[in-house]
Structure 1
Amino acid sequence: MNFYKRLRSDELRHEVGVRGRKQPEGATVEAMRVALTELLAEEANGVEHQDALLPIDEEEELTILEAKVAEVGNSVSLLAEEANESDAARARALLSHCNRRLSRLLSHVGQGRRVRVKELLILLKGSVGDFRNIGDLAVYQASSVPSVSSFPSQKSKSSKSTHESEPPPPEKPKRGVRVKDIDFQKWGVTYSGSEGVSVLSFIMDVEEKADSCGLPHRELLRGAPEFFQGRAKTWYRSVKSEISSWEEMKNYLRAEYLPVGYVDNLWEEIRARLQGEAEPIGQYIANMLSLFSRLELMGTIEEEMKLGIIEKNLAPFYVKQLVNTKVMSIPHLKKLGRMIEEAKFRVERYDRTKKTPLMEPEFAYKGRARRTQLDEVGDVEPEVAALTDARGRRPFLCWRCGADGHSFRDCQARGNFPRFCWGCGKRDMVIQNCVPCQERKARRAAAAQPDAPARASETTNPSEGNQW
C-alpha cells in the first residue's frame, strides 16, 4: 500500500475523491495521504467504496492522462537503463493510478473519445510489461497494476446494488496466451526493407496481429526472426544483440528505414491532401486518419488538430453545405457528410419527366420537360434546338454540362466534358467545322451586302451562273 505515497497532489486528490471522500480545496499532500491510507486500509478489510462520479471535462481529463502515460513511459525507459528503487516506486504508483483512472474514464466517455482512451490503455499495458521485465525485485514484480476487466462499469455496479443478496457467479479461469503457442510465421507479416512497403505499416500490422491473439507486445521480440526477410534480415542479425525489447526494436527500425525528414514531409503531405472531387467523405476521412496514425507512432496528435485539417481540405461541395454547421468531432463530420451525399444522390436521381397515371390531371404540374440528352441538341437544326417557352423566350440550357438555368459561358461545373459547337451546341464539334453554323454565318454576311440577292444566288447555284 505504501507505493501510493509516491503519488502527487492532483493524483492523491483524484484517488481520494473517487472513493467518495471529498477534500477541502486547501488540503495538504500529507492530509490527503493520510486519508487515502485510511481508505485503502478499509478496502483491505473488505469495505467497498462506491466509485464517485467526479465532475470532469472529458477532453481535459484525456489531456492530463496523455501527459501522465507519456511520463510513466519515459520513467520506465530510464529505469531500464539505470534502475533504482525510489524511481521504481514512483513509476509503480503512477502505472496503477493511470490504469485505474483510464479504466474508469472508459466507461463514461462518448464513442468519439473511447478510441483515444483505449490507445492510452494499450500504451500503458506496454509500459507495465516493460516495467516488470526490468528486474526481479518485489517492486517490479508486484501486481500493482490491475487489468481493465477488474474495474466494473457503472451498469454492473448498479445491478450489484440491486441484487446484494445474490452471490456473484464464480469467474472462469482465463488461460493466458503463451509465446510457444504462437506460430509467428503463420501471421504472414514480413518486412524486407524494400521500397513500396512502409516500416510503420509493418509495425502496425505486427501489433494488430498481437492484439488479435491477446499476445503482449513485449513478447513480439521473440518473433523477430520470422518477421524479417532479405536485406532487413541481414540488418536484424547485425543489431539483435543490442536490442532487448520490442520498443527498442521499433526505435531501431524507424531510425534505419524511415526516410530523412519523414515527419516534416508527412506533415506537409497531410496538410496538402485535398479531398478528391468524387471521393466519398468516409473514404477521405479514413485515408486522413491512416496518415495521422503514422505520425502518432512518434507522438500523440490532438483530435481538434486532426478535425481542423480535415475540415480545411474538404471538397468545395461539402464546404458549401457545412458553412453554417458547427462540427463537433470527426465522427460527427463523417455523419454530416454521409447525410449530404444521400441528399445529393436523391436530387440527382429526381426525374421530373417521369410519367405516372394521374387521377386528377387538372392539378398536375405542366412545366416544360427537362432535357437529359445533350446529343439531341446537335442532331437538329439550331433553330429547332433553341426551344422557346410559352412566352417565346429561349430558356437557358447549358451546352457544356447539360443543366438548365444557365448558359455555357456561366457554367461552373467541374469535370472533363466533350467539346461542342459554340454556335448550336452540337457535341464533338467546333464552330469552325460546323456546317449549319458556317452556312448561317455565310447567309448573314451575304445579307449585309448591297448586292446580297445576286451573290446569294451565285453562292447557292454556281452551276446556273455558268450556263450564261
Structure 2
Amino acid sequence: MLPVKYLSLQKSELEYEVQIRGATAGYSVEEMRRQIVKLAAEHPAEHILESPLDVQQDLRGCVEVTCDRTVADLSKLKFNGKTCVRSFIQRVDEFIVARNIASTKVLAFATEIFQDNALHWFRSVRDNISSRPELAAKLKEDFDQSNYDYRLTTEIRSRTQGEHENITVYLSIMSGMFSRLSTPPSEPEQLEILLHNIRPCYASTLAASSTEIRTIDSLRSLCRNYETYHSRHSLFQEPPRVTSDTVAPEFAYSRESNKSTNKFNNNTYNKQNFSYNSNYNKGQYSKNTNYNQNQNQNKSQQQNYIHSVSNTAHNNKQQPYCPRCRSNNHHIRQCTASRDVFCFKCGKKDVKTPDCPVCNKKANTKN
C-alpha cells in the first residue's frame, strides 16, 4: 500500500480524510492540512477499518478522491513575478500537453503556482479570468518586460555559436529564442541570422555545396557532414607495424616498399627546385663575393694585430741571467760552471745568500 501524500490533496479530498477520522473539517485548505497532519499521525490510513460517515456521504467522498497525481505536480511550477513570464508560460503549456491536464484544473491550482507579488496579482484579477489563454495573455500584459522583443532580437543577433557547441544544439537554442518573440521571423530571416552566427569553420563546406541553402534543415545537414568528417579526420591513425602477433603479415603495410616511390618523389622535387636554387645562387654570388672579400680584409687586419702584439711581448721579455756565473747568456739550468757554494746575490764563494756577510751587511745598513 502506497503512503498517502496528504499535503498534495485537493480541498474535497482533505475534507473527506478529516471526516473519516471523526473530526470536523476546517473552512480553508491550510486549516485542513494542519488538521490532517495531526490526525494522520494518530489514525494512520491502514488503521481505519470503518467509516463514521453514512453510506451516501462516504461514497460521495470516495468518488471525489482521485489518484490523478499529475494535477498535484502542477504545484511544482512556481512564479513570483520576478522571472521571465514568457518562459513560465511556455513551461506550463508543455506540462499541460505532457500530462494531458484540463485548463480548468490549471486555474484551480493557480493559487498553488503563484507566489509573493504574483499571488496578490492573481487574487485581484481572478474574477475577470475564465480560461487559461486569458490568464496567459493577462500575465504577458502585466509582467512582460518593456521592449522585450527589441531586446531579445538584439540578443539573437549577437548569439554566435560557441567553440565547442554542437551545430544541432546551437540551432535548437536559436529556435527557442525565435519562438519567444511575439512574432517569430520567417525561415529565410532566421536562416540569414544563422549563416552569420555559425562558426567560420563551416564556411568551406557550405561554399563547396552545389545546391543553394534555402532551409535550416539543409544547413543542419551540411554542418553535420562537416562535423562527421572532422571527427573521422581527428581519429585517423597510421597503419600498425608488423609484430610477432600479426595474423596476416603479408597484408600489413610495408614501409620499405615505398622507398622507391619516395626516391622518385624526391628526384622530382629536386628537379623542380633546381632552377629556383640556381637562380637563387646566382643572385647570391655577388653578395657572397663581397662578403668573402670583407672577411679576408678582416683576417689580415687581425693577423697584423696579433703579430704586433707578439713582437711587443717578445721585446718586453726578460733577458736570461745565470746567478752562478753571473752571465746574461743563459739560465742557471743551462749553466756548465762548477757547482761550488756561493752567494746568489753578490757571488761571494763558500757562503750561501742567507749567511753572506756582504749582502746581510747591506740589508742591515738599509734598515
Q: Which has the larger radius of gyration?
A: 2
| Larger proportion of helix | 2
Place the TM-score, normalised by the shorter chain, in its bin: 0.3 to 0.5
Question: Normalised by the size of structure 2, how large is the TM-score?
Answer: 0.46
Question: Normalised by the size of structure 1, how large is the TM-score?
Answer: 0.37
